[in-house]
Amino acid sequence: MEKLLLKLCVLVLLHLLQRTDSHYKVDYLLGLPGRLPFHLEIRYVGIGKDEEVQLFYYFLQSESNPITDPLLIWLSGGPDCSFVIAIVNEIVKKFSCPGPLRFVEQVYNGSMPSFVLNPHAWTKIASVIFLDQPVNTGFSYATNSAAYKYTNVQACEYVYEFLRKWLSDHPQFISNPFYISGNSFAGMIVPVIAQYISNGNAAGKEPLINLQGYLLGNPAAFLGEFNYRIPFSLGMGLIPDELYKSLEKNYYPHNYTITVHNVIPYHANLSIKGYRSLIYSGDHDLMVPFQSTQVWIKSLNYSIEDDWRPWNLHNQVAGYTRSYYNKMTYATVKGGGHTACTDKPEECFVMFKRWISHDSL
């Protein structure tokens, strides 16, 4: 079933490519009657000396006030997860968050899928660039075989170059507050990209990017966090005490030498430079358990500004949060899994809206 849905998503995206004009703007979408009620733009941007890397993006302007609203770039996890794969996941999870559309769930009858507007889209209050990265992800490709070989660091360099080119082509957004966002494995690259931007701004590389901070959902940060899956499974009642005790004796944790596999120092350096950050975890995530995220945040030794407390929605507890004097906010999302944004779209939208508006959760 998911393979079929994936094919449908690809057909929709191919339709987008066929309907774009010289300005890459899409006005109509199969499955949604009438003209799109938001600004959608898609395009390739060439990266590298000879533009041998072609990164594909789609851009959605804020439905509120794009002139002043924040600008985000959203990076999927994986690595190598395209937004097409994300769309399939959103179909299963009912909502397409943070994007503006959701699929109508119905028995497949051979026709194209149909859409309705997502009431909890982050694009209601922010402009968002969705990027297929690294190269060979989704619709992004390279013009020669050598360009398909890259490191995580090179992938971050490509994103930084992409952003500078994109802003040069869209100068009206240069002054907007800019944030980097993503989930899962994006936690390993977003802090590195933020560091590239910070260093580039300090070196005077134009256009200067108005980086204000970053936000990460269920983020990977260091290899050792996989070790927290077993105690999390015990705490959730997924395994019995006897199995847990057996695993304690026979489980061999990851013991890699931490070098580029650890982005915690990047978080520390970015906070010193005054950038804001929102780190959130679905409290039912087994892939990157919230315990591991709390451990690496605690290792930063930040002073607590607002200690552990519930944050609410509709007079109900939506999760728990703690904020630090270094402008970092941590929050859990009650009932959220590895993609908390799709499991709890309204809660995550409200959390995002409060944080991006500089309000307390």
Are 343 and 319 contained in the same domain? yes
Are 211 and 316 contained in the same domain? no
Are 65 and 161 contained in the same domain? yes
Residue 167 inside a domain? The answer is yes
Q: Which of 285, 292, 323, 343 is catalytic?
A: 285
Q: Which residue has tokens 């849905």? A: 5
User: pLDDT value at position 235?
Assistant: 53
CATH no. for residue 161?
3.40.50.1820
Q: Which residue has tokens 């070196």? A: 203
- Please give the sequence-ordered ranges of beta strands (E in DSSP) within 86-210, or none if there are none: 101-103, 115-117, 127-132, 141-142, 178-183
Return the structure tokens found at 124: 């209601």
Q: pTM for the whole thing? A: 0.80
Domain boundary among 161, 183, 217: 217
Are 118 and 201 contained in the same domain? yes
pLDDT by residue for the chain (361 residues), tens only, comes to 444 444 445 545 545 544 444 458 887 777 777 777 788 888 999 988 888 888 999 899 999 999 999 999 998 766 555 555 444 344 334 334 577 776 676 777 777 777 777 788 888 999 999 888 777 777 788 888 777 666 778 888 999 999 999 999 999 999 999 999 987 777 788 999 999 999 999 999 999 999 999 998 877 765 656 665 566 555 555 556 565 556 555 554 443 233 347 888 899 999 999 999 999 988 877 677 878 788 889 989 999 999 999 999 999 999 999 999 999 999 999 988 777 887 888 999 999 999 999 999 9
Report d(CA 277, CA 267) in Å as an integer: 9
Indicate if 285 belongs to the active site.
Answer: yes
Are 173 and 229 contained in the same domain? no
Residue 291, amino acid? Q
Are 153 and 269 contained in the same domain? no
Are 16 and 118 contained in the same domain? yes
Return the structure tokens found at 285: 């995530």
Are 213 and 292 contained in the same domain? no
Residue 240 inside a domain? The answer is no
Cβ count within 10 A of residue 198: 18
Are 184 and 272 contained in the same domain? no
Indicate if 184 belongs to the active site.
Answer: yes
Residue 345 inside a domain? The answer is yes
Which residue range forms the structural domain that includes residue 340? 224-233+262-361
Are 205 and 347 contained in the same domain? no
Indicate if 254 belongs to the active site.
Answer: no
CATH no. for residue 270?
3.40.50.11320
With vertex at residue 340, the alpha carbon angle to CA 319 and CA 160, rounded to the nearest 5 degrees, is: 115
Residue 229 inside a domain? The answer is yes
Residue 201 inside a domain? The answer is yes
Nearest to 184 by CA among 359, 319, 19, 342: 342
User: pLDDT value at position 287?
Assistant: 73
Burial of 36 (0-12, 13-18, 19+ CB in 10 A): middle
Are 206 and 273 contained in the same domain? no
| Dihedral pair phi/psi, residue 248, rounded to 5° | -60, -35
Strand 211-217, strand 178-183: pairing: parallel
User: pLDDT value at position 310?
Assistant: 96
Residue 51 inside a domain? The answer is yes
Are 209 and 141 contained in the same domain? yes
Domain boundary among 152, 186, 217: 217
User: Taken in order 191, 196, 202, 207, is the CA torsion positive or negative?
Assistant: negative
Residue 255 inside a domain? The answer is no
Q: Which of 184, 271, 277, 292 is catalytic?
A: 184
Instruction: Please state whether the peptide bond connecting residue 98 to the residue before it is cis, i.e. omega within 30 degrees of 0.
Output: yes
Q: Which of 120, 267, 284, 338 is catalytic?
A: 338
| Dihedral pair phi/psi, residue 321, rounded to 5° | -145, 155
- The number of folded domains in the chain is 2
Residue 130 inside a domain? The answer is yes
Domain boundary among 187, 217, 247: 217
Report d(CA 132, CA 64) in Å as an integer: 25
